[in-house]
Chain A
Amino acid sequence: MTEKSRLGHFYLFPLTIWSILFFVSPLIIIILYSFLTKDIYGGVIYTFSLKAYQSLIQLTYLKVFWFTLKISVISTAIIMFFAIPVSYYIARSPLKNVLLFLVLIPFWTNFLIRIYAWIAIMGNNGFLNQLLLSLHVLKTNIQFLYNPIAVIVVLVYTYLPFAILPLYAAIDKFDFTLLEASSDLGASRLQGILKVLLPNIRTGLMAAFLFAFIPIFGAYAVPQLVGGQESFMLGNMIARELTITRNWPLASAIATIITLVTCLGILLYIRSVRRSDEKDGK
């Protein structure tokens, strides 16, 4: 072993031990648990079983999966619809530091406070109701909360900054003389954006998409607090199987599937980054 690689081992030693102990092992354990038999009081019996995966094919679970996917796609689409023009504007603005700061504040603000703020607005007796009642738009209180729309609104609110930041970073690096060149060659503003800007920032787009989609797909707190009965997502199902039904193999199986889906997304992202790096000749 050369002196150099010995040093590398020294620097990486704590990280390696930590990753193995508190990240890789827990992940392996849930994968193992997903193939074991459930014990009545939580925990597992150490006999191999595919029951967890078999029960996932039942209609009720498939419905939850479908609902989660639907909510994730809709919320992420709305997020991207806002994030692209906003990060474009920030990157081009002379006030970009101020604007960036204004995006960072909600990003840093406590997650539960952000959810709570929407409960205060949309609740049965909340701000929106008060406002509409005083404007005589409404005659009686309406419950805006506890439905899928409320879940989407709060998810968009929560994860929009996550998409804006990587997109901003990508657009900020974009060479805007390319847009001038394209307009010089006869492209309209929209054509320039669609054919020159977007293809050049596609890894940023991909990162923004993943940063929003992945946590939404595994959302727990938002549907739990503002979703009600009809907005049961995969995250809530894991929690239910874990704490109420105490079916740990099933909870592990759902977690394993979400992990696999996430890893797939990340691998696709890495491949697309590599491909665009190759194109740029890096």
Chain B
Amino acid sequence: MNHTKRGIFTTTMVILTLLFFYLPMAVLLLYSFNSSKSMVITGFSLKWYNELFTNSPFLWKAVSNSLIIAVSSAFSAVLIGTLGAIGLRWYSFKLKNLFQIISMLPLLLPEIILGVALLIFFSAFSFPQNLFTVYLSHITFNIPFVLLIVMARLEEFDSTLLEAARDLGAREIDVLMKILIPLTMPAIIAALLMSFTLSLEDFVITFFISGPGSTTLPIYIYSMIRFGVSPVINALSVLIVLATIVLSLFLSKFSKYIINH
């Protein structure tokens, strides 16, 4: 019955979109097992995976940089963002709307703006560009996502829950530790995973901020694309897509807080 309501047009569009989304990934998968160094299909081989794991030290350095930044910036952004979301949800003050818009703006501005602004800012104050500036920048663009996700969760509860806790003798620290944090936990985990993922995949902002010693994985991939493609990149892409699928499976558990903003 449901089927008749959806016309041929929408069905066609969905099929086209899914093909559009996944054909490129299939091509990468195909090439990652291709024995030739060129794009001509010659035969099955695992050598690019082998080279990826055994003979790509710079790549793995970039991966470790990326992971360090992703983990540290995700935790920092979640800490700042969760407290901020609680403040924005339950306390009113003058210019709250403006404050809220400014807090969300890093999410809405094109990435290049934040990249350029931070680059100029750091050089204006002669900040050395290294992993630390990358860390600071990633926190900045992750905070709005944390705010969105945590606030969506907090929307599900009204303030009587907090009043009930205070009424039963809870001090503010009890309200935070025994009510707010446990209640928000699913959203906090979702925000952590999302920040982690966004940090791992950020290219544009990092591109402007990073210096010689702070190459992250996306920067490394960018230089691989620009300065000579080795089929190792196909193998790497397949692994990254697989990792994404695993992460997305985790995230889809919390998708409620990610999609419905």
Contacts and interface: CB of A to CB of B under 8 A. Distances in A.
Interface of A: 4-5, 7-16, 18-19, 22-27, 29-30, 33, 42-43, 82, 85-86, 88-90, 92-94, 97, 99-106, 108-121, 123, 125-127, 129-130, 157, 160-161, 165, 168-169, 189, 210, 214-215, 217-221, 225, 235, 238-239, 242, 248, 251-252, 255, 258-259, 262-263, 266, 270
Contact of A189 (B7, B17, B124): B7
Contact of A92 (B6, B16, B99): B6
Given A15-B83, A111-B203, A169-B259, 12 more contacts: A11-B86, A15-B84, A26-B118, A89-B11, A106-B22, A109-B201, A110-B244, A116-B225, A117-B24, A225-B226, A239-B208, A262-B113
B6 to A, nearest CB: 6
Interface in B104-137: 105-106, 108-114, 116-121, 123-124, 136-137
Interface string B173-208: 000000000000000000000000100111110011
A104 B28 contact: no
A258 B113 contact: yes
A200 B94 CA distance: 32
Interface in B3-26: 5-7, 9-11, 13-14, 16-18, 20-25
B245 interface: yes
Interface in B204-250: 204, 207-208, 217-218, 221-222, 225-226, 229, 233-234, 237, 240-241, 244-245, 247-249
Mostly, the A contact residues are helix
A85 B14 contact: yes
Given A101-B248, A121-B24, A165-B259, A85 B116 contact: no
Contacts of B244: 105, 108-110
B9 A85 contact: yes
Contacts of B5: 92
Interface residues of B, number: 97
A27 B108 CA distance: 14
A110 B201 contact: yes
B140 A22 contact: yes
Contacts of B161: none
B66 to A, nearest CB: 10
Contacts of B110: 214-215, 217-219, 235, 258, 262
22 contacts: A8-B91, A11-B83, A12-B83, A25-B121, A26-B120, A26-B121, A27-B117, A88-B10, A89-B13, A101-B248, A102-B18, A104-B255, A110-B221, A116-B225, A119-B229, A169-B260, A215-B111, A220-B112, A238-B116, A239-B208, A255-B112, A259-B109
Contacts of B25: 106, 109, 117
A242 B13 CA distance: 41
B251 A108 contact: yes
B58 interface: no
A100 B255 contact: yes
Interface of B: 2, 5-7, 9-11, 13-14, 16-18, 20-25, 27-28, 30-31, 38-41, 79-81, 83-84, 86-88, 90-93, 99, 101-103, 105-106, 108-114, 116-121, 123-124, 136-137, 139-140, 143, 147, 172, 197, 200-204, 207-208, 217-218, 221-222, 225-226, 229, 233-234, 237, 240-241, 244-245, 247-249, 251-252, 255, 259-261
A22 B13 contact: no
Contact of B140 (A18, A42, A104, A116): A18
A125 B38 contact: yes
Contact of B116 (A86, A130, A251): A251
Contact of B119 (A86, A169, A218, A242): A242
B248 A104 contact: yes
A218 B80 CA distance: 27
B170 to A, nearest CB: 13
Contacts of A11: 83-84, 86-87, 90-91
A18 B143 contact: yes
Contacts of A82: 13, 16-17
A189 B40 CA distance: 48
Contact of A119 (B16, B119, B197, B225): B225
